[in-house]
């Protein structure tokens, strides 16, 4: 005998039955009142992507949007309404979504694949053989990069930098906020290579983007703060949204902070320039340390012959369970306090001048 059971999402709870998408993976809420909007007034990165996709589609009729059954979660609802003939939901088939995008790119279309970081892992073989090997111009809008709070270890986007940057032809971009996310999506769209733009779940700092479709210089970071100390100087290379806690730390430690923006191509020239007048380096990222952006910086410094200490901060070599996002980041040492403690633990002489490290006898003037 074979028993086929068809379930109904939210059966018996009228609010969930009426809106199964909203109640698919809810957090804490009052069951009598239902889920209410946060009212914070900030756009999520997912919303920024969805708006950009519609604007870019309006500007370029060759754009097509592809999702493996994540229309709502990836922000494609409005795109489907406005461009139904250019919207493709291939179902829960991540491998097919990537191969499907490759086929469309071969025929002159400009595919944008909206996919969660953890789900892209399922299509790794297709990513290499069907996309990168042929160097096809496909944009991968990678949502849920980094930790995902209540969604837990299975949905954490901890590994995408590590598993993408080793693939030839692949470009990787890490926006620091909402406005930069839109700019980097536009930048990615105009590349003739497979390009990944990774961004986290939820809202950023509230730096809302304009409606322009601006591009940024490929492979170029920006210095956001310059150290003023005449002693030991530290440069913090920040990837993605950790730029902002890094700026808080730098204010206390008087460090230089760079918004790197690109993991690949890495801004080698900027790293080389910083090495001329900085003693220590720290990299911060919301992905795994092993093989991540910090590793890319170490490899680059090794090739350039830069013998400066580098501390790589990121997610530890362990699975991160469910929990409040901010609490989990603090437990991983990736909030401002944790970064500061790690930096001072590794570089205790930060800010001291060579003169202050000498003994009193060393400081006696010659001839006395």
- DSSP E strands in the chain: the ranges are 63-67, 87-89, 110-116, 139-143, 171-173, 195-198, 222-225, 234-238, 256-259, 262-264, 280-288, 310-315
122 included as an active-site residue: yes
**What are the distances in angstroms from CA 70 to CA 66, 75, 178, 348?**
9, 8, 21, 47
In whole angstroms, give the CA distance from residue 137 to residue 89: 20
Catalytic residue from among 43, 86, 94, 144: 94
9 included as an active-site residue: yes
For tokens 């698919």, the residue is 24
For tokens 């809106």, the residue is 19
In whole angstroms, give the CA distance from residue 3 to residue 184: 50
Query: Per residue in 234-249, is it b (16+ CB within 10 Å) or e — as a string?
Result: bbbbbbbbbbbbbbeb
212 included as an active-site residue: no
Catalytic residue from among 71, 122, 224, 346: 122
Please count the other Cβ atoms lying within 10 Å of the Cβ belonging to residue 76. Answer: 26
Structure tokens at 92: 């829960």
Q: What residues have CB less than 8 Å from 177, skipping those under 6 apart?
A: 204, 205, 207, 241, 243, 244
C-alpha closest to that of 121 among 77, 72, 68, 169 = 68
C-alpha closest to that of 112 among 126, 128, 101 = 101
In whole angstroms, give the CA distance from residue 109 to residue 103: 9
Residues serving a catalytic function are: 9, 94, 122
């Amino acid at each position: 005998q074979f028993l086929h059971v068809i379930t109904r999402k939210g059966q018996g709870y009228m609010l969930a039955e009426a809106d199964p998408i909203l109640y698919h993976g809810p957090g804490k809420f009052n069951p009598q009142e239902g889920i209410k909007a946060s009212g914070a007034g900030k756009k999520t990165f997912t919303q920024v992507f969805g708006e950009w996709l519609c604007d870019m589609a309006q500007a370029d009729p060759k754009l097509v949007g592809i999702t493996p059954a994540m229309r709502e979660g990836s922000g494609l609802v409005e795109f489907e309404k406005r461009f139904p003939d250019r919207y493709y939901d291939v179902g829960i088939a991540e491998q097919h979504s990537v191969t499907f995008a490759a086929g469309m790119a071969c025929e002159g279309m400009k595919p944008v694949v909206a996919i969660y970081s953890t789900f892209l892992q399922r299509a790794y073989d297709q990513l290499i053989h069907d996309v990168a090997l042929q160097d096809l111009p496909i944009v991968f809008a990678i949502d849920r990069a980094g930790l995902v709070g209540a969604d837990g270890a299975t949905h954490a986007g901890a590994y995408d930098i590590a598993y993408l940057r080793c693939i030839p032809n692949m470009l990787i971009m890490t926006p620091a906020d909402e406005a930069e996310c839109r700019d980097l999506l536009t930048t990615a769209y105009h590349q003739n290579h497979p390009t990944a733009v990774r961004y986290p779940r939820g809202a950023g700092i509230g730096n809302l983007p304009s409606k322009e479709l601006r591009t940024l210089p490929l492979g170029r970071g920006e210095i956001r703060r310059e150290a003023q100390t005449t002693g030991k100087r530290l440069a913090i290379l920040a990837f993605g949204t950790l730029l902002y806690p890094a700026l808080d730390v730098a204010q206390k430690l008087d460090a230089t902070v760079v918004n790197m923006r690109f993991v690949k191509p890495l801004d080698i020239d900027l790293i080389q320039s910083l090495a001329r007048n900085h003693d220590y380096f720290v990299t911060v990222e919301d992905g795994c340390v092993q093989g991540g952006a910090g590793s890319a910086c170490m490899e680059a410094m090794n090739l350039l012959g830069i013998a400066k200490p580098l501390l790589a901060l990121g997610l530890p070599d362990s699975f991160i369970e469910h929990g409040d996002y901010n609490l989990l980041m603090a437990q991983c040492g990736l909030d401002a306090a944790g970064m500061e403690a790690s930096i001072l633990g590794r570089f205790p002489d930060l800010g001291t001048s060579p003169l202050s490290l000498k003994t009193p006898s060393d400081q006696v003037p010659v001839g006395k």
